[in-house]
Structures are given as C-alpha cells and as structure tokens.
C-alpha cells in the first residue's frame, strides 16, 4: 500500500514521495 500511495503522491509531490514513500 505504501508504494501505491507513493506513486499517487509522486505525481503531485515527487520530492515528498521520494523523501518518505513509506511514511505516507
């Protein structure tokens, strides 16, 4: 689930997704 959220957030917040993809 963490990766799916990271991909979704990555589109709008690449920096945030790359910084903490598992925290999201």
Q: DSSP assignment of 1-24, as one string?
A: -HHHHHHHHHHH-HHHHHH-TTT-
Query: For the CA atoms of the chain, what is the radius of gyration?
Result: 7
Quote the pLDDT of residue 15: 56
Quote the pLDDT of residue 11: 62
Give the C-alpha separation, 3 to 19, whole Å.
Answer: 13
Tens digit of pLDDT for each residue in 1-24?
456 555 665 566 555 555 555 655
Quote the pLDDT of residue 12: 62
Quote the pLDDT of residue 16: 55
């Amino acid at each position: 689930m963490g990766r799916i959220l990271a991909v979704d957030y990555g589109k709008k917040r690449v920096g945030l997704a790359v910084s903490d993809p598992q925290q999201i």
